[in-house]
């Protein structure tokens, strides 16, 4: 059992998070890692994939829009 090291938090870090990030020191609410956005893209009927984007990067805005168009077209 691991607890979040953020001052005044002390929440128990869920086992699922520890399975994915075994060296984490913080709960998801206090994570120091930049958050990313993911989008499932179905540009082929049998070959879906996940695109991961940095929502704070203006250079990736076009990629996010393109992935959303692919996704809408496939449905």
Sign of CA dihedral 52, 53, 55, 61: negative
> Which runs of consecutive H residues, i.e. helices, occur in the chain?
15-20, 61-74
> Predicted confidence band at 3 (pLDDT cuts at 50, 70, 90)?
very high
Q: pLDDT per residue over 22-38, tens digit each?
A: 999 999 889 888 777 77
Question: How far apart, in whole angstroms, are the C-alpha atoms of residue 9 and residue 19?
Answer: 21
Phi, psi of 48 (to 5 degrees): -75, 155
> Predicted confidence band at 14 (pLDDT cuts at 50, 70, 90)?
very high
pTM, two decimal places: 0.49
How confident is the model at residue 13, as a pLDDT?
Answer: 93
Question: How far apart, in whole angstroms, are the C-alpha atoms of residue 55 and residue 36?
Answer: 6
Give mean pLDDT, residues 14-19.
91
Q: pLDDT per residue over 34-59, tens digit each?
A: 777 777 777 677 777 787 887 777 77
């Amino acid at each position: 059992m691991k607890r979040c090291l953020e001052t005044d938090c002390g929440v128990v870090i869920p086992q699922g998070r520890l399975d994915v990030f075994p060296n984490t020191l913080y709960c998801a609410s206090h994570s120091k890692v930049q958050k990313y956005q993911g989008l499932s893209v179905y540009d082929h009927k049998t070959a879906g994939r996940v695109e991961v984007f940095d929502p704070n990067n203006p250079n990736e805005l076009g990629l996010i829009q393109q992935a959303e168009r692919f996704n809408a077209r496939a449905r």
